[in-house]
Homo-oligomer: A and B are copies of this chain.
Amino acid sequence: MKPSLPQGTRDFGPEVVRKRQYILNTIKAVFELYGFQPLETPAMENLETLMGKYGEEGDKLIFKVLNNGLGDAKNIEKSKAAFENALQGKNDKNLTERALKYDLTIPFARYVAMNHGQLTFPFKRYQIQPVWRADRPQRGRYREFYQCDADVVGSKSLLNEVELTNIYHQAFTQLGIKNYELRINSRKILTGLAERVKAAEKFLEITIALDKFDKIGLKGVEEELRKIGLDEGDVVFITNGFLFISTHPNTNQERLRQLRVLFQKVPIALEGIDEIEYVLNHGNDNKTIVVDTTLARGLNYYTGIIFEAKAPAEVKIGSIGGGGRYDDLTGLFGVPNVPGVGISFGVDRIYDVMEDLKLFPETVEKGTKVLFFNLGDEEAKTTYRLLQEVRSAGVPAEIFHEAQKFDKQFKYAEKKNIPFIIIIGSAEVAEQTAVVKDLRSGQQQKLPFEKLKEFLFI
């Protein structure tokens, strides 16, 4: 049998795991610095927790887990009925009642709803875990991938939005990603826009049309808006008025001023504009923030400020994060009035950005620092003692597993990128010295045993 991996899934070998860990640990440290606390939820959720939360298309992409014991004698009747239902496209509890989580937001809402009596609000949590989607795999799109989220729930304060913009800035800066852009808009402005074009009931459709701007451009959005049934004047208002604000270079202040002109009689939009202004005035880094009227974010649950972090233009990778404010996520689970705001980091894309721009520090890949050669059981006893001493000083070290020829042992060190080798033969045991070779420079020297730790620790 020739082994293979399921489509859209990946193994991560040592080098990749280390680099991914570097990204995740950096972001995690920033979350902690801002007072966010870790949460982990199981891979499987009850199917009913997930279904109906991601739209019709989303529902189809949920991986469902088969109940065990379907073919068992005692379950035959139930299973038959379940299969009948499945053939009619209906979910049946006797076929599947669990599913793999599709994102971290709904499980978080489920957790808050289940535990709201015990939690201290505002509750600030971060969560870094894999999620699963039965999407058609393609470049940069996988069926298992990590999400990395931070959310505050139980607070309406805009200070949270300010904090989240600062988290983006600090995390990207620490990762070395300069020239990223944090796009900002408000669903309140979009709500105002729908009102302004006398199509409040078409708010979601308009949002979805705007959300396609990056892919289909201004002409495409125009087309979509016509399809929705907006009249020509309103289409022009949106494309030549509203979107124009962002498709032409300008300062954030000027864009906000133009928005105030467009929406002078639409209170909800003015509220959104004020909120954006508050965030711009309070953040410790508003140079990377860009007011962007083309930003819409497709997800239904956003109600206030929305964010999207864009990779530096030179790498052509697009979005590397996003988020926004929602009013009532836990309402879905019977606990109303828990407003919140959250952001997400796109780990896979951040990885690609960092590879493209060569931003991973060399130290990330550090594995074993020294290989002790194996010259046979007699010498190995001394070697083994020294090896343990070196390790006790915190230096990752190995002994070659067998007393093979030197060239084999050298090759092992080279392939594993181990910078130092140490050779202790019978002569060295007698002298209490070790031959130390730096494989990068080729330099070789004899050191007394007691100097070894010190030498390697540098």
Contacts and interface: CB of A to CB of B under 8 A. Distances in A.
A391 B166 CA distance: 11
* Chain multiplicity (copies): 2
Interface stretch (A70-78, A219-227, A300-308, A425-433): A70-78
A367 B32 contact: yes
Interface string A25-39: 000000011110111
Nearest to A414: B120
Interface in A67-95: 68-72, 76, 79-80, 83, 86-90, 95
A95 B96 CA distance: 12
A415 B95 contact: no
Interface string A123-158: 011000010101000000001100000001001010
B166 A3 contact: no
Contact of A95 (B66, B159, B380, B397): B66
Contacts of A1: 48, 332-334
A68 B72 contact: no
A48 to B, nearest CB: 7
A71 B86 contact: yes
Interface stretch (A106-114, A179-187, A250-258): A106-114
A100 interface: yes
B14 A37 contact: yes
Contacts of A76: 87
Contacts of A43: 43, 100, 130, 132, 144
A144 to B, nearest CB: 5
A46 B6 contact: yes
B87 A32 contact: no
Contact of A86 (B2, B79, B374, B402): B79
A444 interface: no
Interface stretch (A57-65, A199-207, A317-325, A351-359): A57-65
A406 interface: no
Contacts of A71: 86-90
Nearest to A68: B134
B166 A388 contact: yes
A87 B79 contact: yes
A90 B86 CA distance: 18
A39 to B, nearest CB: 6
A95 B87 CA distance: 12
Given A3-B110, A42-B10, A64-B66, A160 B86 contact: no
A144 B44 contact: yes
A111 to B, nearest CB: 5
Contacts of A395: 33
A42 B6 contact: yes
Contacts of A13: 39, 115
A378 interface: no
Interface in A390-421: 391, 394-399, 401-402, 412, 415-416
Nearest to A157: B401
Contacts of A95: 66
A1 B45 CA distance: 14
A282 interface: yes
Contacts of A277: none
Given A89-B71, A282-B384, A11 B37 contact: no
A69 B367 CA distance: 44
Contacts of A17: 37-40
A334 B3 contact: yes
Contacts of A385: 284
B70 A86 contact: yes
Interface of A: 1-6, 9-14, 17-18, 21, 32-35, 37-46, 48-49, 60-61, 63-66, 68-72, 76, 79-80, 83, 86-90, 95-98, 100, 110-111, 113-115, 120, 122, 124-125, 130, 132, 134, 143-144, 152, 155, 157, 159-160, 162, 166, 170, 282, 284, 332-334, 367-368, 374, 380-381, 384-385, 388, 391, 394-399, 401-402, 412, 415-416
9 contacts: A3-B49, A6-B46, A12-B38, A17-B40, A32-B396, A35-B396, A43-B43, A44-B63, A63-B66
A-B interface, 9 closest residue pairs, ranked by CB to CB distance from nearest:
A71-B89, A14-B37, A35-B398, A9-B42, A83-B83, A17-B38, A120-B415, A157-B401, A35-B368
